[in-house]
Amino acid sequence: MRHFLQENDFSMEETAEVFSYAFELKSNRSKRPTTDLVGQSWGMIFFKQSTRTRVSFEVGIRELGGNPLILDQSSTQIGRGESIADTAKVLSRFLDGLIIRAHGHEIIETFAKHSSIPVVNALTDFLHPCQIFADCMTLLEKMNTGTNPFVGLRGKKLAFFGDTSCNMANSWILAGAMFGMEISLCGPEAFKPGRNILELLENHNLSPTWSFTPTPEDGAKDADVVYTDVWVSMGCEEDSKSRLASMQPYQVDEKIMASAKDNCLFMHCMPAHPGEEVNQSVLDSEYSILFDQAENRLHMQKAILSKLSQSNHTI
Ligand code: CP
């Protein structure tokens, strides 16, 4: 069974096809209905809050002709302790696919292990692959470098500011190694990337393309893109005070943007907290592309679901 739990779950060829199809779906959205998921029901389980992911998946499944079902954990037996293994086996009898947002990455891995339908990672504490694919699509679009990320993103430098141990930083470390991008991580020493993402690269024979600096003046040097995410991710609220204090020097402002290349883009996966990880004027600036990133979640996720659906039907 094919799943999309991490960015490199598709082969290079499949990844290029997914990106190409996402661009096609975007340019044809208003012209023709797509029928890739006709007759299919896809479940969505969110153990954490979501706006963009939940709405874009629900709309995307409908636009592909399928039927989305929102399965709130608190109103199902999962909330009362039914095992993930049993839940996955039962849902596999009813559904054609499952989209899950969870805290621990092991939760979606367990779902995938016990499911006979494709499972899609809609964010875990470890990785956010759907966001990264949509972000890479947005970069290709804005840089006008084609539709293939292995070609169009090669050699580009992305500077990630703030909590460089978070799921978005991990996903950029992985995507950077896949697509040949230089990833410059800049944040407090206490929030450097963890062992788990380094092991993932090693286990997949991917050479690291990232570096780390705690010096804000150095982090964005020669960058094509500056990226940041919230300083207090979902589930990290307990140490929010110390996080906010230690990350203050890494707020993306005009000075950081000026240290990057001319025409450097600013990206944020949202929700944004102006005055914390980024200031309002950078968010509102002409080089800020966060709403394009958000929109591309829809097109990219439709392409991912379509690919999984095709792959699983031919097996
Ligand atoms: N970026 C993102 O995943 O947004 P949501 O948490 O609103 O889904």
Q: Can you read off the two tokens belonging to residue 85? A: 């293994």
Q: Please provide the DSSP assignment of 123-165 as one string.
A: --SS--HHHHHHHHHHHHHHHT--S-HHHHTTT-EEEEES-TT
Residue for token pair 């840089």: 143
Mean of the pLDDT values across residues 126-146? 98
Secondary structure letter of residue 312 according to DSSP? H
3-class DSSP assignment, residue 92:
helix
Mean of the pLDDT values across residues 76-103? 96
To test ligand 1's pocket by mutation, which of 44, 127, 270 has the most ligand atoms within 8 angstroms of CB?
270
The full length of the chain comes to: 315
Mean of the pLDDT values across residues 139-156? 98
49 Cα nearest atom in ligand 1: 6
Please count the CA atoms within 13 angstroms of the CA of 6 that sit on its side-chain side. Answer: 19
d(CA 257, CA 142): 17
Neighbours of 85 (CB within 10 A): 13
What burial class does residue 245 get, using C-beta atoms within 10 Å of its C-beta: 0-12 exposed, 13-18 middle, 19+ buried?
exposed
Please count the CA atoms within 13 angstroms of the CA of 302 that sit on its side-chain side. Answer: 31
pLDDT value of position 238: 76
Q: Which of 65-79, 130-144, 271-285 has the lowest mean pLDDT?
A: 65-79
- 122 C-alpha vs ligand 1 centroid, how far in Å? 9
pLDDT value of position 314: 41
Backbone angles phi, psi at 257, to 5 degrees: -60, -35
Share of the chain above pLDDT 70, in %: 99
pLDDT value of position 315: 33
Q: What is the pTM of this model?
A: 0.96
- 265 C-alpha vs ligand 1 centroid, how far in Å? 20
Q: Inter-axis angle of helices 105-114 and 84-94, to 10 degrees?
A: 50
